[in-house]
Amino acid sequence: MATKVSMNGVSIYYGGFKAVDGVSMEIQPRTVTAFIGPSGCGKSTVLRSLNRMHEVVRGGRVEGEIQLDGVNLYAPEVDPVAVRRTVGMVFQRPNPFPTMSILDNVVAGLRLNGVKDKATLTARAEASLRAANLWEEVKDRLDKPGAGLSGGQQQRLCIARAIAVEPQVLLMDEPCSALDPISTLAIEDLISELKREYTIVIVTHNMQQAARVSDRTAFFNLKATGQPGRLVEYDSTHTIFNTPAERATEDYISGRFG
């Protein structure tokens, strides 16, 4: 299921503006990789480039190569829609579809891509909700609207929705920043379980969170305001938080700036 992601000299532009400059890194399967760095340093942009979501913003384009198990995501014959089925994403704010029930939300990715068989959908919904640690809480009200859940439950619903299409890689863009500590803990536990099956990349502003959940950490920074963001250091989380090679990394994680 899980695959390796490798980036080679990736620069990302929005129109004429270069947002990220020359990122090269390898993300190992079945690990959690955390992207940390100050606001505007391009970590979310890099994350979005991994499933071509940055193209949704007008003028977004990528130079360099991003490969998923050796397949170039940006080859001309590759359909961005297919990429997004392989590389799922969870967003900062929980965004369940307001017109759909809990069940319909979970299977939205399947149903709207043409899966009609009821038994398949129900089975997949239960499996995904169980995997997202939400099944026990919602099994009696699957036909109720998804928007009626609490914030933390909604976010786990969104995770269930993302894994229901069986992606290889799961991207999370600050998945806990809109949640309270208890819900955050629930999501972090969930991340640790999910990494057995998925390659997970998480963007976070919370350094304790990066230290808690991730195996490897990438630190992004800007050279100066208005300059493109770049990858400063990428190593095991233990190394980044204890003996970083770069001065900037040490300053950032020890709270001296950012």
Partner 1 sequence: MTTSQRNITASDAGGGAVHAIQGTLIQGAVTTAIAVPLGILTAIYLVEYGRGPLARGISFMVDVLSGVPSIVAALFVYAVWVTTFGFQRVGFAVCLALVLLMIPVVVRSTEEMLKLVPNDLREGALALGIPRWVTITRVVLPTALSGIVTGVLLGLARVMGETAPLLILGPYTKSISTNLFSGYMPTLPTMINQDRTELGLATAVERMWATALTLILLVLLLNLCGRLVARKARV
Residues in contact with partner 1 by the rule CB under 8 A: 51, 53, 56, 58, 81-86, 88-89, 91, 93, 95, 97-99, 108-109, 112-113, 145, 158, 161-162, 165
Residue closer to partner 1 by CB (options 12, 240) is: 12
Q: Sign of dihedral through CA atoms 118, 123, 124, 128?
A: positive
Do the beta carbons of residue 215 and residue 32 sit within 8 Å? Answer: yes
Residue closer to partner 1 by CB (options 29, 148) is: 148
Phi/psi at 219 (nearest 5 deg)? -105, 125
- Of the candidates 35, 14, 10, the one whose C-alpha atom is nearest the C-alpha of residue 216 is 35
Kindly state the smallest distance separating residue 41's Cβ from partner 1, in Å.
Answer: 21
End-to-end CA distance of the chain: 36
Per-residue exposure over 6-45, b if at least 16 CB sit within 10 Å of its own CB, e if not: bbeebbbbeeeebbbbebebebebbbbbbbbbeeebbbbb
Do the beta carbons of residue 222 and residue 201 sit within 8 Å? Answer: no
Kindly state the smallest distance separating residue 172's Cβ from partner 1, in Å.
Answer: 11
DSSP state of 117: -
Residue closer to partner 1 by CB (options 89, 213) is: 89
Residue closer to partner 1 by CB (options 9, 98) is: 98
Kindly state the smallest distance separating residue 118's Cβ from partner 1, in Å.
Answer: 18
Residue closer to partner 1 by CB (options 164, 232) is: 164
Kindly state the smallest distance separating residue 160's Cβ from partner 1, in Å.
Answer: 12
Kindly state the smallest distance separating residue 143's Cβ from partner 1, in Å.
Answer: 10
Residue closer to partner 1 by CB (options 71, 82) is: 82
Kindly state the smallest distance separating residue 77's Cβ from partner 1, in Å.
Answer: 17
Burial, 119: exposed, middle or buried (Cβ in 10 Å; 0-12, 13-18, 19+)? exposed
* Residues in a beta bridge with 65: 8
